[in-house]
Amino acid sequence: MERAKVTGMARVRLIGWSAKGAEERAEALRKAGHEVNARVCASGQGTRELRELSESPPDVVIIDLDRLPSHGRAWAAAIRSRKGSREVPIVLAGGDPQKLPAIRQQLPDMVFTEWRAIGKALTHAVAHPPRKPVAGKLSIARPEAPLYKKLNIRAGMSVLAIDPPREFYRALELLPEDSQIVEEGRADITIRFVRTCDELMADIRRLAGWTPLWIAWPKQTSRLQSDLNPATIREIALTAGLIDYKICAIDTTWSAMVFGRRRKQ
């Protein structure tokens, strides 16, 4: 920590969710004279990364809030929970302005900034490390898997979304490299959003050849009216020779099941 104060150069650990984005931001910090170790940390991973941070803490940790704010919040809490990294200054960069007040309340001793002011925020954080880190008050939850992983979307895939609600794109947040969402044509994965049995029955045979096929329907706890449930969806899909093999929640409104062709005995 002393070296950063004397020379103006800081040893930075940058945690992000996109390899390209993390490296671009790391390079900008290197040009400003800092030593930067950029890491892309996927959901469900991080035990080794946290151990390294605890055993060899940097001068400051920068966490990207732009794409996966819930992951960033959980990572900040996890860093604070370990004795070796508890007093490391943490800068949270970017993020949705509407969500930041709640995050600030949960993480009161961390520095928040826009990316355009990251240099000043980094300098301030190093010069003013937390005196009494708020470790015990933080809820350290394991980050939930991103939606693209739940939907089995991998790098390079195209995904056909049929009648998607606007909130689907907000829930998706990001996609693997070189993958894309389309709303017409054929794709590697199809996601059909439906509200009624009649709607699904009218379309199921056409969709049966487009597997893997996700059928998304409103949850019973949502405000959307629907006569669909997992049992009726399975029954309708079976008439087209499809069986389900996975179910997941898209968000608080929509659930989805994925179907494949039934194997012939």
List pLDDT tens digits, range 176-201: 888 888 888 889 999 999 999 999 99
| Per-residue pLDDT, 143 | 53
| Per-residue pLDDT, 8 | 67
Given a cut of 50, the residues of the chain with pLDDT beneath it are 1-7, 43-45, 136-141
Residue 199: CB atoms within 10 Å: 17
| Per-residue pLDDT, 87 | 92
Q: Phi/psi of residue 126, each to 5°?
A: -65, -40
C-alpha torsion sign, points 235, 239, 244, 247: negative
Q: In Å, what is the CA distance from 243 to each residue of 161, 195, 214?
A: 20, 20, 11
| Per-residue pLDDT, 45 | 47
Q: Work out the burial of residue 210: count CB atoms within 10 Å of its CB; fewer than 13 is exposed, 13-18 middle, 19 or more buried.
A: middle
| Per-residue pLDDT, 158 | 92
- Distance spanning both ends of the chain, measured CA to CA: 67
C-alpha span between 182 and 160 (Å, rounded): 5
| Per-residue pLDDT, 137 | 47
